[in-house]
């Protein structure tokens, strides 16, 4: 009910009123549990730490290359020689893990079978060896896909009509994965989304005597969409014809994602990845429910990262604050690992919290 009083001049003036008082219920009081900055951090079921982050590195076949990627702020393509001093600065700040993407740029290196993917003199295997030599404790992951290495830009071997030859593709992908493991990779992560490749890779690792020391992380729930543009600029992996809708998941395909997660677990996946992250947190939650006993990773993809940078530059929000919010959203949904281009910043930001 509104009330008013008259001031000294006789003018009516609105005053604040209160409803009747009732005893406060004990269960109503929550703020005592988060009134202090440390208490607020304790409310996070999962804590962001340096061990949570995996940093993507684009490695070219020019050993001394250091080229800015225009569509991906603060990111570069690196040659195997040039990347070592850069990674050294990150390891000194607490970097624990990287994921490698090969970017072959030499003329004529691409062919229909992605032969360059596991060339012993190619960028990925050379980078594994260089990083292992210089940083023996660094966890080295390798993306396994053929799109960067095929002349047609698709993720597997094709039939003459341009469709995916599943049987040959998974055998080729498995060979690449095993060769990365032989070179010293701690983890192989197939991103091609071709049916049955997890089983083929797991068998290959077992037969090579490497399954006990190489994690198999499946991009089980990788959705097609519009957020991969900067990555394709960086990796030179855009398809030369058609698209990847027949093997990447459709945006609304929640049921397909759940089926793929179950399948990949049954085929031997040691960890599950969801990609992209921000718009697919329901899938992250599903993944945690289905794969409750294995690590869940999200990939905060190039378009998500570039989008946050662009909005921050327009003054829409503070970049650091929004990066934390995005990552905590992933943790709340069930992720324990985050592949992010923000990793170098988080190595410093997390120190600032201590």
- The H-or-E segment that residue 232 falls in is helix 229-235
Residue numbers annotated as active site: 222, 275
Backbone φ and ψ for 94, nearest 5 degrees, come out as: 115, 15
Q: What is the dihedral of CA 234, 235, 241, 247, to 10 degrees?
A: -110
Say if CB 205 and CB 215 are below 8 A apart. no
Which residues, including other chains, have CB under 8 Å from residue 151's CB and lie 6 or more apart?
A: 110, 111, 112, 240
Peptide bond preceding 209: is omega within 30 degrees of 0, i.e. cis? no
Distance of CA 198 to the CA centre of its chain: 19
Please, are residues 91 and 135 in contact by the beta-carbon 8 Å criterion? yes
- Nearest alpha carbon to residue 136 among 79, 91, 189, 82: 91
| Complete DSSP assignment for 166-207 | HHHHHHHHHHHHHHHHHHT-SEEEE-S--TTHHHHHHHHHHH
The total of other beta-carbon atoms located within 10 Å of residue 307's CB is 14
CA-closest candidate to residue 272, choices 292, 293, 296: 296
Give the Cα separation of 323 and 326 in Å (integer): 5
Pair 334, 291: CB distance under 8 Å: no
């Amino acid at each position: 009910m509104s009330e008013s009083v008259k001031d000294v001049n006789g003018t009516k003036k609105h005053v604040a009123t209160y409803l009747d008082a009732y005893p406060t219920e004990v269960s109503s009081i929550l703020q005592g549990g988060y009134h202090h900055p440390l208490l607020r951090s304790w409310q996070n079921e999962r804590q962001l730490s340096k061990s949570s982050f995996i940093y993507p590195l684009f490695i070219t076949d020019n050993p001394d290359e250091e080229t800015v990627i225009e569509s991906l702020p603060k990111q570069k393509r690196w040659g195997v020689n040039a990347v070592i001093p850069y990674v050294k600065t990150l390891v000194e700040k607490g970097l624990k893990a990287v994921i490698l993407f090969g970017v072959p740029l030499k003329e004529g290196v691409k062919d229909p079978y992605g032969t360059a993917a596991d060339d012993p003199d190619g960028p990925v295997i050379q980078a594994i060896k260089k990083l292992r030599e210089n940083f023996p404790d660094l966890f080295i992951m390798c993306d396994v896909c053929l799109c960067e290495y095929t002349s047609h830009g698709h993720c597997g071997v094709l039939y003459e009509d341009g469709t995916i030859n599943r049987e040959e593709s998974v055998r080729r992908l498995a060979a690449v994965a095993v060769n990365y493991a032989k070179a010293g990779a701690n983890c192989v992560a197939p991103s091609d989304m071709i049916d049955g490749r997890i089983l083929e890779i797991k068998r290959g690792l077992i037969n090579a005597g490497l399954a006990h020391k190489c994690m198999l992380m499946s991009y089980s729930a990788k959705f097609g969409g519009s957020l991969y543009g900067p990555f394709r600029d960086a990796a030179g992996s855009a398809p030369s014809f058609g698209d990847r809708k027949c093997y990447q998941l459709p945006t609304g395909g929640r049921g397909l994602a759940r089926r793929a997660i179950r399948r990949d677990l049954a085929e031997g996946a040691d960890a599950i990845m969801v990609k992209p992250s921000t718009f697919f947190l329901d899938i992250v939650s599903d993944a945690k429910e289905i794969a409750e006993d294995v690590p869940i990773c999200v990939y905060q993809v190039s378009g998500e990262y570039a989008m946050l940078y662009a909005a921050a530059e327009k003054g829409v929000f503070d970049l650091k604050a929004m990066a934390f919010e995005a990552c905590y959203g992933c943790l709340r949904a069930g992720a324990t690992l985050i592949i992010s281009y923000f990793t170098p910043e988080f190595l410093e930001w997390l120190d600032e919290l201590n």
